[in-house]
Amino acid sequence: MNQNIPELYGSMIFSDKVMRNKLPKDMYKALRKTIENGTHLELDVANSVAVAMKEWAVENGATHYTHWFQPMTGFTAEKHDSFISPSGEGEVIMDFSGKELVKGEPDASSFPSGGLRATFEARGYTAWDPTSPAFIKDKTLYIPTAFCSYNGEVLDKKTPLLRSMEALNLQAVKMLKLLGNETVTRVSTTIGPEQEYFLVDKELYEQRKDLVFCGRTLLGAPAPKGQEMEDHYFGTLKPRVSAYMHDLDVELWKLGIPAKTKHNEVAPAQHELAPVFDTANIAVDHNQLTMEIMKKVAEKHGLVCLLHEKPFEGINGSGKHNNWSLITDDGVNLLNPGRTPAQNIQFLVFLMAVIKAVDDYADLMRISAASAGNDHRLGGNEAPPAIVSIFLGDELNAVLESIENDTYFGKQEKIQLDTGAHVLPHFTKDNTDRNRTSPFAFTGNKFEFRMLGSSASVSTPNIVLNTAVAEALAQFYQELEGTRPEDMEKAVHELLKRAIRKHKKVIFNGNGYSPEWVAEAEKRGLYNLVSTPECLPYFVKDRSVELFTKHHIFTKEEIFSRYEILLENYAKTICIEARTMTEMLTKDFLPALSAYSGEIADNASAKKALLPSLSTAAEERLVTELTEAYAAITDGLEELKDLTAKAAQAGDMKQAADICREELLVKMDALRGTADRAEALIPDCELPYPTYDRLLFSL
Ligand code: ADP
Ligand code: MG
């Protein structure tokens, strides 16, 4: 069937076009003003929007509405209410008011709050975010909202993101004005998140408790083939995968999510989807929805979409690349090097602000990508290292060098100049080779933050980045404030020079995967925070609290609560993994191992009974090996159970997380090693769950 894609695209969102058609003119104008400038929305406008929204939703088959929010679980939350309102005996009308649109009051007590909210203060509020379009899914009208507690403490991932966008807008516009730009009134952050994922057959998935409970395999010997042939990356799409991807695109397009690129990734069964970039807030909402719909569409195809950062040992895990830039309300990308020197000044100041931000707050950037799942990737030879550094490419590097050394930048020989003025170079879009090993790379007209895990919300890294860049711009502003316009170019040049000297340590254009870089980074004094429990304490340091409170992103209490939530999430994740491994080994693997070695022993005895001269040395060796593995796993399981209990009883969350990292995970690794070696000795038909061969190569 041929689908009219332009017609289908966005058909399930309360789009600008629908608004214009359904709303009285003055109401439409008032709503646009709120969306574009963040002005307060009057109740009469809200009422009018509610009527239009309900009408549109009902026309499109909706019976319910829900406030849709992003609590600290990392997932989205929803509670559906029907539109029905009794209007007489046995009769109802479909009703929806401005008040219901604007505010919801879900019980907040069962969402993670990190100790912010006592259980007796159960009430929470959701507040409509008119900047992100409402949409229809599963016969329900979804209204994107922010979520906070009864006392106004933030309990979600949207509110701080909106605040950070506002903080950055404020500082960026101030800076642009200072630099003589009189046209810009608003600066927005744009994001394009590239999403990696795995697809596995649903029937196979359901036979593995580790995949069902943890999203990753905790056991499993490697398949004879992994990714070494490099034949999967950009390879031809298999029919089942292609059909899935097509359906996924259509579902996303209906919701106005501009899914653009799709391809096979490096590991077998691994794929990627990237949308066209959008305003940060909308892109974050869209990425949450994308992850959800990826899973849902997979079910329809008898597949399961795995978003875990490390579903399989021995092959690449999945990440999410956060492409980030700044755009003015007159359409200029501030990270586009541009062609005229005036634009160049802007570009260089903003470029330098990003470099400074990432250098000054590298610890927070690292934290923004920290999770139990992502710890398996960062620092492995598949994802950027845990060290935050910036890749600029040869051309920009040369530009910064010329500023630092007062040399002229050009294609010709470098010429010394005696004055600092007029040295700001003219150059075009960076077109140097791509560097795939850098955690934070300049890619022509945007930065690409590559540390993020595939299952994470893209909100946190953008909160950190926006806030840190806002702070860098604020500091630059202070340095430049009061400069006369005719002296500005020289002052900017001097500022850039100082900033380059201070922050060039964070710039690294070499191979981020090499061991030499780890040593070099240490010499440069960069952080190398290899695990979640190691990096999280930096979140609650004074510097971090100062940054976030100064720009009104989080209060001190909110920071500490988030710290608790992150630690708790880490410890709980690993404890669930430990319990799942215990269960799989005890109930599935050990019985299979025992049965098989018994079978071999019986066979050997039978042979001996029949022909006493036959050698059963091979059987004896195998039975010995299996029996030793059985004993080692049984002993290891006792220790694993003790350690799981120890983590559960730890005095505080940091201690629990440390036990998980330093003891529990180590034990699990050792147990896995033993079990995987034994698995390789047992025939597939005797194993209690499907092996890597089938999981990775059956589609
Ligand atoms: P790659 O080679 O890394 O896959 P692409 O050019 O395909 O690079 O872009 C990757 C992502 O970057 C896409 O989602 C794209 O929309 C996004 N992107 C492009 N320009 C911008 C921008 N100005 N701001 C944010 N994201 C952007
Ligand atoms: Mg990319």
DSSP secondary structure, 287-355, as one string? HHHHHHHHHHHHHHTTEEEE--S-SSTTS---BEEEEEEEEETTS-BTTS--SSHHHHHHHHHHHHHHH
Q: Is the CB of 194 under 6 A from ligand 1?
A: yes
pLDDT for position 39: 81
Please identify, by atom number, the ligand 1 atom nearest to the C-alpha of residue 277: 16
Residues of the chain with pLDDT under 50: 342, 411-421, 430-431
**Cα 108 to Cα 561: distance, rounded to the nearest angstrom:** 15
**Cα 209 to Cα 689: distance, rounded to the nearest angstrom:** 9
Q: Is the CB of 188 under 6 A from ligand 1?
A: no
**Cα 46 to Cα 52: distance, rounded to the nearest angstrom:** 10
How many angstroms is it from 320 CA to the middle of ligand 1? 12
**Cα 643 to Cα 537: distance, rounded to the nearest angstrom:** 23
Q: How deeply is 305 buried, as exposed, middle or buried, from its count of CB atoms within 10 A (0-12, 13-18, 19+)?
A: buried
pLDDT for position 672: 98
pLDDT for position 410: 57
pLDDT for position 425: 63
For the chain, the C-alpha Rg in angstroms (whole number) is: 28
Ligand closest to CA 282: 1
How many angstroms is it from 528 CA to the middle of ligand 2? 23
How many angstroms is it from 324 CA to the middle of ligand 1? 8
Please identify, by atom number, the ligand 1 atom nearest to the C-alpha of residue 193: 14
How many angstroms is it from 441 CA to the middle of ligand 1? 12
Please identify, by atom number, the ligand 1 atom nearest to the C-alpha of residue 336: 23
Q: Is the CB of 196 under 6 A from ligand 1?
A: no
**Cα 572 to Cα 112: distance, rounded to the nearest angstrom:** 12
How many angstroms is it from 392 CA to the middle of ligand 2? 15
How many angstroms is it from 448 CA to the middle of ligand 1? 8
Q: Is the CB of 325 under 6 A from ligand 1?
A: yes
Residue nearest to atom 19 of ligand 1 (CA): 277
* Chain position carrying tokens 């501030």: 334
Q: Is the CB of 323 under 6 A from ligand 1?
A: yes
Q: Is the CB of 192 under 6 A from ligand 1?
A: yes
For residue 642, give the 3-state DSSP assignment: helix
Strand partners, 264: 271
How many angstroms is it from 443 CA to the middle of ligand 1? 8
**Cα 666 to Cα 585: distance, rounded to the nearest angstrom:** 17
How many angstroms is it from 320 CA to the middle of ligand 2? 9
The answer to whether 384 and 438 are in contact (CB under 8 A) is yes
> Any idea how long the chain is?
699
**Cα 491 to Cα 497: distance, rounded to the nearest angstrom:** 10
The answer to whether 191 and 458 are in contact (CB under 8 A) is yes
Q: Which residues contact 158 (CB under 8 A, 6 or more apart)?
A: 69, 70, 129, 144, 145, 146, 147, 281, 284, 285, 459
Q: Which amino acid is at 413?
A: E
CA angle 66, 22, 14 (to 5 degrees): 40
Q: Which residues contact 381 (CB under 8 A, 6 or more apart)?
A: 513
Ligand closest to CA 446: 1
Q: Which of 277, 325, 336, 450 to mutate to test the pocket of ligand 1 (most atoms within 8 A of CB)?
A: 277
Q: How many CA atoms lie within 13 A of 114 on its CB side?
A: 23
pLDDT for position 89: 87
Ligand closest to CA 324: 1
How many angstroms is it from 366 CA to the middle of ligand 1? 21
pLDDT for position 632: 98
Ligand closest to CA 263: 1
Token pair listed for 694:
């089938």
**Cα 292 to Cα 533: distance, rounded to the nearest angstrom:** 28
Residue nearest to atom 22 of ligand 1 (CA): 325
pLDDT for position 134: 97
Q: Is the CB of 462 under 6 A from ligand 1?
A: no
Q: Which of 196, 257, 432, 446 to mutate to test the pocket of ligand 1 (most atoms within 8 A of CB)?
A: 446
How many angstroms is it from 223 CA to the middle of ligand 2? 28
* Chain position carrying tokens 């799709």: 262
pLDDT for position 416: 39
Q: Is the CB of 434 under 6 A from ligand 1?
A: no
pLDDT for position 419: 42
Please identify, by atom number, the ligand 1 atom nearest to the C-alpha of residue 275: 14
pLDDT for position 422: 54
pLDDT for position 411: 47
Distances (CA, A) of 139 to 61, 97, 127, 512: 6, 19, 22, 48
Q: Is the CB of 273 under 6 A from ligand 1?
A: no
How many angstroms is it from 444 CA to the middle of ligand 1? 10
Residue nearest to atom 11 of ligand 1 (CA): 192
Please identify, by atom number, the ligand 1 atom nearest to the C-alpha of residue 333: 23
The answer to whether 451 and 317 are in contact (CB under 8 A) is no
